[in-house]
Copies of this chain bind each other. A is one copy, B any other.
């Protein structure tokens, strides 16, 4: 990624160009929770459309946020994982969940706390 590829020199704006949509961070959430195949992501409760999922997996790979590998035995299945850059989005996700819990609905088992614990233990 080159700095001149972005619409402005604002870091916030550039981050949003990469993952500012309704789906990218959900795929990263799923990876974090142990899901790692195309079928896994499709089965999440938000019902991502297959064409959206294919596009997002491709761009997240291009940006260096996720990695993909094929299994030796099951060559038709791709396995996805988070790169260090992808794991670096955990604090963003924790703050987004915390914002919801503070201002919209206080969850009995806060996701923000769960994500914060993962950050602390990593």
User: Interface residues, chain A, CB within 8 Å of chain B?
Assistant: 1, 3, 7-17, 20-23, 25-26, 29, 44-47, 64, 84-85, 88-89, 91-93, 95-105, 107, 110-112
Cβ B88 vs Cβ A92 within 8 A: no
**Which B residues are in CB contact (< 8 Å) with A105?**
3, 11, 14
**A89: shortest Cβ distance to chain B, in Å?**
6
Copies of this chain in the oligomer: 2
Given contacts A12-B29, A107-B11, whether A20 and B17 have CB atoms under 8 Å apart is: no
- Nearest CB on B from A82, distance (A): 12
Contact with A99, one of B88, B97, B112 (Cβ below 8 angstroms): B88
User: How far apart are A18's CB and chain B's nearest CB, in angstroms?
Assistant: 8
Contact at B91–A103, with CB atoms within 8 Å?
no
* A104: chain B residues within 8 A (beta carbon): 1, 3, 11, 14
